[in-house]
Structure 1
Amino acid sequence: MSEHSGVQYTKVDPSYFEKRGLRRYAGVWSLWALGVGAVISGHFSGWNLGLANGWGSMLFATIIIAIMYLGLTFSLAEMSPALPHTGGAYSFARTAMGPWGGFLTGLSENVEYVITPAVIVYFISSYMGGIFGTPVEYLPLWWIGFYIFFVGLNIVGVELSFKVTLVITLLALACLVVFWVSALPYIDFGRWAMNVGEGGVLLENGNGPLLPMGITGVLAAMPFAVWLFLAIEQLPLAAEESVDPKRDMPRGILAGIFTLIFSAFMVLWLNPSIASIGAHTLAKSGEPLLDGFKAIYGDGIAKVLALVAVLGLIASFHTIIFAKGRQIYSLSRAGYFPSVLSITHGSRKTPHLAMILGSVVALAVMFVLWFSLGSDKGAAVIGGTLLNMAVFGAMFSYIMQALSFILLRKNMPNIPRPYRSPLGVVGAALTVVIAVVTLYFQLSDPLYRDGVMWVALWFAAGITYFALVGRKRLILSPEEEFAMDMADKARS
């Protein structure tokens, strides 16, 4: 056992890593689908709540958040082929900021990837309950069924997982394209998209001000604009399952973000502009895309349309389960989490224990809330507080990843970089600034504070474990060896 920077490393024999092998399969389009699929549910619902501040506020908020994600994804496109490890955000921060920085970044992503699928599966169950007439008290059966099915798909093998990801991502995008084409003959932008007035009042004849709440409305809409891009950052977690990460990872990440930016602005333009809906009504909707389809095609085929609309949720649910498994696996393989969680399936070479445990934890949280608070209040907490926990964890991890990029550029300029971000340090700095502002406005909203409190407890439990146990049992995984080698070279 050796000590380094306040932590202790345990020597392991080769069989340790033999039991934790992954299989390479993903190319550029598989990676593109993984990134887009993880995000696409946010184009079906969630973003629209920001319209309460006015369409113009949501437009400028989306532009600002898109800039933040461009800064982040260009930084990831540089770091991921330079440090092509499954750890992703954790491994970047570990190399740049040491074991504690790596652990805190990994812990923040852990909140995001465990909680986000729980929220998505709740929304899926609500759709399915409406389609099949399932009583509210039986919705948890949908949660269990979807978790079992999609965790099972991810366990069967990386090949099947990526094939399913590509198919459902393409189907979800096809659904959006059909909506855009269908909506064009029905839009009246000035009359409907601009029907929010000062103070959020409804303007019956539309043609209201661009910024009815002023700059405050733009800032207040920023947390909702995040849903149009949230989770694109998971792509580097597939580095060790990419056939050629140094070539394909930057291409997959950048193709993904530009696809999402185009889709985001199409949805933002067309969805609120449809006659008889409008921004004011859409701001209160739980299924804005479905409402748009109903306005175009009528309620008579509502159940068929609901099945179409649920595709986006399923795409994100499936892909974030993949990310959750790899995120827990990487922290476990390096000893930050109990190392047993990184054992991969003997023949399938997938991190089955990590995916199963992460899913069990998410389901346990949902069941506790559902049965302790009652179905009505429990649903509000699952759809609100848990959602806010995921966003807070994501924002914190963005700050840490952008800081990692800046520190790596400064302290380790000679690391081979197959791709260099054209935005450089300026892009990463913009990411930090915008993420901090977004966090501030999340904290200023009382609805977000409960989520932040639970994230604080999650962090407290994780930090306590790492301080007392984890830091004494670290293992020289690929991420750890790379970080220590680079640190030694930087000092010499």
Structure 2
Amino acid sequence: MADGTQSRTPAGAAPPGAAPSPDAATDAYLERRTLRRGSAGPLLLTGLGVAYVVSGDFSGWDAGLAEGGFGGLAIAAALMGLMYTCLVFSLAEMAAVLPTAGGGYGFARRALGTWGGFLTGTAILIEYVLAPAAISLFIGDYVESLNLFGLESGWPVLLACFVIFIGIHLWGVGEALRFSLVVTAIAVVALLIFAGAAFTEFSAGSLDDIPVDHDAFGANSWLPFGILGIWAAFPFGMWFFLGVEGVPLAAEETKDPARTLPKAMAAAMAVLLLLALVTFVAACGARGSAAVNSVGDPLVQALQPDGEPTVWSRIVNYAGLAGLVASFFSLIYAGSRQLFALSRAGYLPRFLSLTSRRKAPYLGLVVPGALGFTLAAWSGDGARMLNVAVFGATISYALMALSHIVLRRREPQLHRPYRTPGGVLTSSVALVLACSALVATFLVDRDAAFIALGVYAVALGYFAVYSRHRLVAAAPEEEFAALAAAEAELSRD
């Protein structure tokens, strides 16, 4: 169970020269893999949930107008908002039951076994490794377009992003989450300023000004690309909410997680729903859906009716950089915690879960960061990497929703400090919509979907051949699953 590294035997565990007891070896293993508990309260967790997502309000979603028009994207965003709301309520229940850094992997591990846990954890890692890599490219583009310090987008800017922000995470989780909260607050205030300015120019007639494709089934001015356009717009409707499901990954660093996590997740989701509504409607209504369709900076364009910068558009432009930084920074955090939990339990190489004196998983931060920087500098294709991330996300959503259903049916007696409103019906809605969104990714970027499947195949090969035979039974998620198996055995007796 130990990872082969030298560690000091706890006092009294064994006489000098004797082999340490299994319990002492286990304690030494876990002692080197602990996070700083009690660092995050309700406000920091709510900020974390919004930070994961806020960059998606500034850009990305507008490409959905090219797939479904205003009406198609509106319906897609509403359905994806419903999916995330149902998923968040389902995850809140499971996070209160199992408040560990494993998050979705831990929930699926108990409900679906080791294979289900690994499938879920790998899908989450795909999302949280590729999304920051893509966002780093967008940060580079913003730095160049804003002419900040005369820098141009390129590998030096990308490297600076990873080095600076990973450095803050290595400093400590409390400091990192407070930094994230400040940057996120700036971005949210800017979105509200944008909405106030845009609604002064609002015209309902501008919403449906995209030309109609009369060959598409069910096409009209509100659905210019027909009924199928609604489905194709699903991945872009997700941009208003993508990442909020990562809040439970902070469980081991949270004060009173059983109470705090559900409240923070619900609060973050409420903020995101409001921001999505006002941002989407205000941007399309201020200048027209056609004008902000796939432009990269839809909020800026919405505030420039003559194409010339205004005071408000400049404010939003700079705030867009703050939104990107907030999401980049928080997604690095989420990826490191998921990698930490999978490594601590032996699903991935165990050395990746070692923590520093400041209780930060330093290799869990540095290794994904190095991989993300390499992918960003090598490919330069942020849109493709985000599409791969979305594909991984939808797989994890389906498996996490299924985990809630299985746990409710299989273990109704399990103590649940928080219970999902609507119970299994709520998680079933999330499951159906997640599967629909998964299929929709093939309509948008088939190559990205197959790239994600290729990564999945390699990871599953590693698990099947090697790591599933070397799991760490003392890891919290594994102990939780073992307890369930023991209780089931007793009930049969």
The within-5 A match list for 1:354-433 is 354-369=364-379, 379=380, 382-433=381-432
SS of 2:100's partner is coil
How far off is 1:147 after superposition? 0.7
Q: In the alignment, is residue 244 of structure 1 matched against residue 256 of structure 2? A: yes
SS of the equivalent of 1:444 reads helix
1:152-184 alpha-carbon deviations (Å, 9 max, x no partner): 111100110111111111111000011111112
Residue 335 of structure 1: SS of its match in structure 2?
Answer: coil
Label 1:435 to 1:13 Cα distance change in 2 as closer, same or farther (>3 A).
Answer: closer
Which of 91-100 and 138-147 deviates more?
Answer: 138-147
Do structure 1's residue 94 and structure 2's residue 129 form an aligned pair? no
2:274 matched residue in structure 1? 262
**What is the percentage of aligned positions where both structures have the same residue?**
37
**C-alpha distance in 2, partners of 1:265/1:296?**
25
**Is 1:56 aligned to 2:87, yes or no?**
no
Greater shift after overlay, 337-346 or 216-225? 216-225
Give the direction of change, closer, same or farther, for the CA distance of 1:292–1:18 in structure 2 (3 Å limit): same
Q: Deviation digits for residues 462-485 of structure 1, max 9, x if unmatched?
A: 112112221121112011001110
Q: How far apart are the structure 2 equivalents of 1:16 and 1:222? A: 44
- Given the alignment of the two structures, is residue 166 of structure 1 paired with residue 181 of structure 2, yes or no? yes
Matched-pair contact (CA < 8 Å) for 2:303–2:310: no
8 Å CA contact retained: 2:143, 2:151: no
What CA distance in whole angstroms lies between the structure 2 residues aligned with 1:184 and 1:317?
A: 29
- The answer to whether 1:229 aligns with 2:226 is no
Is it true that 1:455 corresponds to 2:452 in the alignment? Answer: yes
- Alignment partners' CA distance in 2, 1:76 and 1:357: 27
Once the two structures are superposed, the pairs formed by residues 147-296 of structure 1 within 5 Å of their partners are 147-190=162-205, 192-199=206-213, 209-274=221-286, 277-295=287-305
Q: State whether residues 291 and 301 of structure 2, in contact with CA within 8 Å, keep that contact through their aligned partners in structure 1.
A: no
Counterpart among 342, 348, 351 of residue 340 in structure 1: 351
Q: Does 1:13 align with 2:13?
A: no
1:314 maps to a residue whose letter is: V
Q: Note the residue ranges of structure 2 that are not aligned, 5 or more in a row.
A: 3-21
> In the TM superposition, what is the alpha-carbon distance from 1:368 to its structure 2 partner?
2.8
Of residues 389-398 and 57-66 in structure 1, the stretch that sits farther from structure 2 once superposed is 57-66
Partner letter of residue 57 of structure 2?
H
Q: Name the CA shift for 1:295/1:141 in 2 (closer, same or farther; >3 Å).
A: farther
Where does residue 318 of structure 2 map in the other structure? Answer: 307
Amino acid in the other structure paired with 1:193: L
CA distance in structure 2 between the partners assigned to 1:68 and 1:453 by the alignment: 24
DSSP 3-state at the match of 1:195: coil
Q: Residue 189 of structure 1: CA displacement? A: 1.9
Q: What amino acid is the match of 2:320?
A: A
1:66 aligns with 2:66: no
Rounded Cα–Cα distance in structure 1 between residues aligned with 2:214 and 2:342: 45
Distance (whole Å) between structure 1 residues aligned to residue 70 and residue 121 of structure 2 = 35
Letter in 1 for 2:442: L
Asked if 1 retains the 8 angstrom alpha-carbon contact of 2:190 and 2:316, the reply is: no
Does the aligned pair in 2 maintain the 1:74–1:423 contact within 8 Å? no
Paired residues of 1:186 and 1:296 also in contact (CA < 8 A): no
Could you tell me the TM-score, scaled by structure 2's length?
Answer: 0.90
Map 1:70-85 to 2 at 5 A: 70-85=85-100
Question: Alpha carbons of 1:471 and 1:59: their partners in 2 closer, same or farther (altered >3 Å)?
Answer: same
Distance, in Å, in 2 between the alignment partners of 1:136 and 1:211 is 42
Cα distance between partner residues in 1 of 2:149 and 2:459: 38
CA shift, 1:430, in A, is 1.1
Match of residue 117 from structure 1:
132
In the alignment, structure 1 residue 30 sits paired with structure 2 residue 44: yes
CA RMSD of aligned residues (A): 2.1
Residue 480 of structure 1: aligned partner: 478
Which residue identity is paired with 2:253? E
1:423-459 CA distance string (max 9 Å, x none) = 21111111111111122222133xx121122112211
Amino acid in structure 2 at the alignment position of 1:265:
L
Query: What letter matches 2:483 in structure 1?
Result: D
Q: What residue number does 2:9 align with?
A: none
Paired letter, 2:255: V
> Which of the two has greater helix per residue?
1
Secondary structure at 1:183 match in 2 = helix
Distance 1:450 1:37 in 2: 29
**Whole-angstrom CA distance in 2 between matches of 1:137 and 1:242:** 39
The residue type paired with residue 53 of structure 2 is V
CA contact (8 A) 2:355 2:361 kept: yes
Residues 443 and 449, structure 1, Cα contact 8 Å, conserved in 2: yes
* Equivalenced residues, count: 462
Q: Which has the larger displacement, 130-139 or 119-128?
A: 130-139
Question: Does structure 2 conserve the Cα–Cα contact (< 8 Å) formed by 1:182 and 1:296?
Answer: no
Contact 1:344 1:350 in 2 (8 A): yes
Q: Contact 1:237/1:327 (CA < 8 Å) preserved in 2?
A: yes
Q: What is the Cα deviation at residue 215 of structure 1?
A: 2.0
Counterpart for residue 489 of structure 2: 491
Cα offset for 1:138? 5.2
Structure 1 distance, partners of 2:55, 2:305, is: 20
Shift of 1:139: 1.5
Gaps (5+ residues) in structure 1?
3-9, 202-207, 370-378
Q: CA deviation at 1:197?
A: 3.1
- The farther-off stretch of 211-220 and 480-489 is 211-220
Deviates more, 1:10-19 or 1:281-290: 10-19
